[in-house]
């Protein structure tokens, strides 16, 4: 039944996905994408609320009445610098340094819309009762849009949240993720002639460099699971004969739990203060964004796994396999090994040897679900949703084996029939899992009890109360 309902709208959905791919917009600037998706849902009979959570590009679309309320999370933001021609096995930007959907969010958002359309049909037919709610979530890449939405109460009243993510393998997202802070450190010094009177200057760039050196020494003395990254966002100008009076560096600090991030952050602040003292400059801090670690829900994960098995991996035409083999030639053995290593974390190291066959451009098995305790090395703002609502998510195969996220290869595949098949598979799993939840109040209560046990101390939003979303 679900498959036929998904099929009814598949042509429109795939065109919708491609349209989002063709209009790649970065965090909190997804005006076209948000308009395209919200208008589509409104035309389909959903009640759409735009600008939720005080974010212009965030929206919700609701259909039905009463309990339970099931939420489907969607994303549609792109990445900068990843513009790429579709279905090409060579690096070929459409616009040099332009944006591109390097994480497949054009697929992610539209699969959720396909699922809620199917649920709407079932509600109209009287086969299920309750409310289905689609959440248009902007700024996942570097913006933590969902964290802002959680802070503003956008998810209040939702019983269960479901989502997914495109990948080169298929399985349930059974691991946690890293919480993070993203913070700007700015230094103000004094300009001077670098040759004639350098003693009169105070170099802000020196302060940035000293801070970075200090943090690099800090790495040895923080927990091994933590990660610290930085980018110099302002070097103070292009003239070496001028002592740079202003400079800035952006830090991203990650750790398994938010309190560990906070502890490391305070030590980074001390290093920044020391750099300012050493250089005679003034240091200021601008908090940019943050998100919490993700909490998997075993009760819901089991449902997702059964649905992944029920619908099964996509099959491909000879033409698709021919293209996939060309794309596979651009994937390095190291990238394959990294994907397999990540996949093993999902299965708690019980992955079968037949998972990868070098003669096949795709991974060949659905990863077995195990309620494990691994931590994903990356971060996701789905984490904050998972602290306040029982949440579950999964991966489906949308790309050739080993395709790394945030690369031109992923952008290239994101508008192909291969990616489309992964999208439809995800929509089937989302919709059928939602139906299972709608029809099982005991499952909802079990998932809620599980979450309550996991978050005994309660949720504390990692964002400052006055911080607003930033496009940079």
pLDDT in tens, 417-442: 999 999 999 999 999 999 999 999 99
pLDDT score of 299 more than 70: yes
Q: Residue 210 is inside which H or E element, if any?
A: helix 204-218
pLDDT score of 354 more than 80: yes
What gap in Å lies between CA 158 and CA 70, rounded to an integer? 6
| Closest-CA residue to 76 (of 463, 443, 414) | 414
Exposure string for 117-153, b = 16+ CB within 10 A, e = fewer: bbbbbbbeeeebebbbbbbbbbbbbbbbbbbbbbbee
pLDDT score of 71 more than 80: yes
Mean pLDDT of 286-311: 97
More confident call, 167 vs 456: 167
What gap in Å lies between CA 179 and CA 160, rounded to an integer? 22
- Whole-number mean pLDDT of the chain? 97
Q: Residue 213 is inside which H or E element, if any?
A: helix 204-218
Predicted pLDDT of residue 349: 67
In terms of C-beta density within 10 A (0-12 exposed, 13-18 middle, 19 or more buried), how is residue 100 classed?
buried
Q: Which of 201-210, 269-278, 360-369, 370-379 has the lowest mean pLDDT?
A: 370-379
Q: Provide the token pair at 462.
A: 């990692």
Using N-to-C axis directions, what is the helix angle for 441-454 and 417-438, rounded to 10°? 100
C-alpha count within 13 angstroms, C-beta hemisphere, residue 117:
26
| pLDDT band, residue 472 (cuts 50/70/90) | confident
Mean pLDDT of 235-251: 97
What gap in Å lies between CA 370 and CA 353, rounded to an integer? 17
Which residue reads 């739990």 in tokens?
Answer: 257
Which residue reads 């139906």 in tokens?
Answer: 435
The domains located in the chain, with CATH, are 2-176+293-454 (3.40.630.10), 179-291 (3.30.70.360)
| pLDDT band, residue 351 (cuts 50/70/90) | confident
| Closest-CA residue to 211 (of 314, 263, 285) | 285
Mean pLDDT of 328-346: 94
In terms of C-beta density within 10 A (0-12 exposed, 13-18 middle, 19 or more buried), how is residue 291 classed?
buried
Mean pLDDT of 57-70: 98
3-state helix, strand, coil in the chain (%, to 5): 45, 20, 40
């Amino acid at each position: 039944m679900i498959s036929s309902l998904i099929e009814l709208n598949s042509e429109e959905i795939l065109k919708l996905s491609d349209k989002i791919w063709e209009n790649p917009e970065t965090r909190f600037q997804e005006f076209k994408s948000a308009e395209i998706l919200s208008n589509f849902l409104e035309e389909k009979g959903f009640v759409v609320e735009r600008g939720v959570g005080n974010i212009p590009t965030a929206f919700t679309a609701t259909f039905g009445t009463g309990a339970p309320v099931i939420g489907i999370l969607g994303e549609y933001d792109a990445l900068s610098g990843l513009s790429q021609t579709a279905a090409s096995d060579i690096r070929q930007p459409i616009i040099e340094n332009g944006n591109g959907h390097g994480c497949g969010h054009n697929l992610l958002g539209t699969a959720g819309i396909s699922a809620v359309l199917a649920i709407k049909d079932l509600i109209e037919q009287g086969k299920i009762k309750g409310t289905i709610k689609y959440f248009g979530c902007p700024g996942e890449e570097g913006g933590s849009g969902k964290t802002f939405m959680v802070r503003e109460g956008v998810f209040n009243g939702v019983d269960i949240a479901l989502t997914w993510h495109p990948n080169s393998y298929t399985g349930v997202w059974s691991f946690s993720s890293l919480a993070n802070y993203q913070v700007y450190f700015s230094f103000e010094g004094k300009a001077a002639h670098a040759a004639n009177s350098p003693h009169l200057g105070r170099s802000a760039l020196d302060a940035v460099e000293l801070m970075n050196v200090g943090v690099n020494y800090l790495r040895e003395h923080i927990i091994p699971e933590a990660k610290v990254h930085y980018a110099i966002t302002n070097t103070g100008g292009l003239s070496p004969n001028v002592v740079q009076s202003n400079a800035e560096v952006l830090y991203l600090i990650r750790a398994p739990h938010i309190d560990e991030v906070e502890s490391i952050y305070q030590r980074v602040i001390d290093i920044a203060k020391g750099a300012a003292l050493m250089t005679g400059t003034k240091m200021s801090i601008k908090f940019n964004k943050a998100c919490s670690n993700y909490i998997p829900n075993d009760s819901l994960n089991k449902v997702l796994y059964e649905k992944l098995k029920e619908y099964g991996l996509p099959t491909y035409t000879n033409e698709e396999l021919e293209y996939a083999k060309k794309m596979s030639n651009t994937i390095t053995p190291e990238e394959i090994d990294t994907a397999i290593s990540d996949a093993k974390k999902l299965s708690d190291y019980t992955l079968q040897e037949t998972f990868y066959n070098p003669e096949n451009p795709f991974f060949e098995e659905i990863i077995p679900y195990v309620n494990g305790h691994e931590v994903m090395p990356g971060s996701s703002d789905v984490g904050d949703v998972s602290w306040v609502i029982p949440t579950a998510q999964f991966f489906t195969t949308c790309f050739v084996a080993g395709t790394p996220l945030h690369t031109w290869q992923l952008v290239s595949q994101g508008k192909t029939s291969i990616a489309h098949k992964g999208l439809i598979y995800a929509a089937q799993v989302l919709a059928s899992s939602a139906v299972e939840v709608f029809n099982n109040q005991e499952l909802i209560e079990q998932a809620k009890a599980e979450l309550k046990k996991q978050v005994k101390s309660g949720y504390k939003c990692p964002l400052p109360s006055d911080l607003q979303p930033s496009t940079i």
